[in-house]
């Protein structure tokens, strides 16, 4: 990877930037650019890992989302129903009025699970998401 730096602009909600600076930048020895660069690298590594998920898998998918986001709950329920038999369990936990935690246990071909999870992750209003899988036969 090139050591040459390129300047970019990023638009963020003000409260997110304030939280980011207060929680990470002001409490670490790293600059805002260093922290964002590290976050981008971790994001790339995660997606590279997801591209390698193959074979029969059991997956645990966690997401936190805002239930008040228009149409979001319906979209989540539709995508889960579209996943058919691959969804073994879906648990909904109300954390507060603005945050629901959904835990989904899935089983199936790894590439299919990743595609289904990526559809969920792309929905507007998802605040946090993470997929973990294990190989059933490895």
What superfamily in CATH does domain 55-135 come from? ACT-like. Chain A, domain 2 (3.30.70.1150)
Question: What local confidence, expressed as pLDDT, does residue 2 receive?
Answer: 66
Reading the chain (138 residues) residue by residue, the pLDDT tens digits are 667 888 888 888 888 888 888 887 778 888 888 888 888 888 888 778 777 788 899 999 999 999 999 999 999 999 999 988 999 999 999 999 999 999 999 999 999 999 999 999 999 999 999 999 988 765
Of 86, 24, 36, 16, residue with least CA distance to 58: 86
Q: What distance in Å separates the CA atoms of residue 87 and residue 90, rounded to the nearest whole number?
A: 7
User: Under DSSP, is residue 87 helix (H, G, I), strand (E, B) or coil?
Assistant: strand
Cut 0.75: pTM above it: no
Of 8, 5, 109, residue with least CA distance to 57: 109
Instruction: Spell out the domain ranges in the chain.
Output: 14-49, 55-135
Residues 6+ apart with CB under 8 A from 62: 101, 102, 103, 104, 128, 129, 130
């Amino acid at each position: 990877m090139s050591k040459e730096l390129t300047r970019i602009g990023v638009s963020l909600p003000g409260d997110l930037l304030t939280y980011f600076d207060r929680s990470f930048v002001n409490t670490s020895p790293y600059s805002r650019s260093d922290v964002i660069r590290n976050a981008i690298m971790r994001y790339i590594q995660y997606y590279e890992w997801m591209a390698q998920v193959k074979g029969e898998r059991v997956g645990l998918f966690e997401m936190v989302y805002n239930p008040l986001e228009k149409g979001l709950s319906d979209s989540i329920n539709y995508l889960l129903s579209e996943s058919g038999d691959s969804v073994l369990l879906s648990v909904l936990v109300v954390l507060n009025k603005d945050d629901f935690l959904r835990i989904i246990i899935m089983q199936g071909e790894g590439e299919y699970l990743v595609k289904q999870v990526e559809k969920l992750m792309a929905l507007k209003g998802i605040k946090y998401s993470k997929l973990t899988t294990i190989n059933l036969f490895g």
